[in-house]
Amino acid sequence: MPFSETGFPGLVIYEPTVFGDHRGYFFESYNANTFRAGGQEYNFVQDNQARSTYGVLRGLHYQLEPHAQTKLIRVLEGSIIDAVVDLRKGSPTYGKSYTIELSAANKLQLLVPKGFAHGYAVISETAEVMYKCDNFYHKGSEGGIIYNDPALGIDWGIDLDKALVSEKDLVLPKLADVTHNFVF
């Protein structure tokens, strides 16, 4: 099985089989049948792509129900530290964070279920990040948590004093001050 567990219910890592030969390599970055066989059945309806330079930190973001999104995150170029926080009330990992390095080199993908806040920091000179979503962008349902919340203590792999953060993300609340409607 190309899927491995993270200890967070529903949060799984996909590692595709890579076929290398004298021309380079080939792999299936997404195959609905493979995902279904692994118990990961989603109707992805939107693909997003973002380019960022070293030190850019995006997040932590979510969309409230009924616009919550499952996301499948991968890196096309460069490396990132991807971070998620479980916001599902009743989850055994509620309020806990999980981080993983995703890169063009390791080709790992993170399947982030609905009910998680998500963000990433770029640890290479530049990075191109792409993710699939199973619900459309809905501006009015956006929410977030401040990236440097001491209660989370996320190690983003960069010097946070030099992090490049959007104005919107700089004023996000701490986890303790967030209201959301996710249930496990």
Closest approach of ligand TDO to the CB of residue 131, in Å: 7
What mask of x and - would describe binding to ligand TDO in positions 161 to 180, judged by CB under 6 A?
Answer: -----x-x------------
For the question of residue 137 being annotated catalytic, the response is no
Is the Cβ–Cβ distance between 143 and 58 less than 8 Å? no
Identified binder of ligand TDO from the candidate list 19, 26, 27, 137, rule CB under 6 A: 137
Sign of the torsion angle spanned by Cα atoms 57, 145, 147, 155: negative
Cα–Cα distance measured from residue 175 to residue 85, given in angstroms and rounded to the nearest whole number:
9
Tell which residue, 67, 63, 71, 83, has the closest CA to residue 30.
71
Hey, which residues between 42 and 101 contact ligand TDO (CB under 6 A)?
Answer: 48, 50, 58-59, 61
Q: Based on CB atoms, which residue is closest to ligand TDO, 91 or 122?
A: 122
Q: Based on CB atoms, which residue is closest to ligand TDO, 19 or 137?
A: 137
Cα–Cα distance measured from residue 87 to residue 184, given in angstroms and rounded to the nearest whole number:
9
Closest approach of ligand TDO to the CB of residue 49, in Å: 10
Contacts of 91 (CB under 8 A, 6+ apart): 8, 9, 115, 184
Q: Strand, coil or helix: what is 37?
A: helix
Closest approach of ligand TDO to the CB of residue 9, in Å: 19
> Cis omega before residue 9 (within 30°)?
no
For the question of residue 67 being annotated catalytic, the response is no
Residue with CB nearest ligand TDO?
Answer: 137
Tell which residue, 43, 38, 16, 13, has the closest CA to residue 27.
16
What are the phi and psi torsion angles at 146 (to 5°)? -65, 135
Hey, which residues between 112 and 131 contact ligand TDO (CB under 6 A)?
Answer: 118-120
Closest approach of ligand TDO to the CB of residue 167, in Å: 9
Q: How many residues bind ligand TDO (CB under 6 A)?
A: 11
> Is residue 1 close enough to count as binding ligand TDO by CB under 6 A?
no
Chain positions contacting ligand TDO, by CB under 6 A: 48, 50, 58-59, 61, 118-120, 137, 166, 168
Show which residues are catalytic: 61, 131
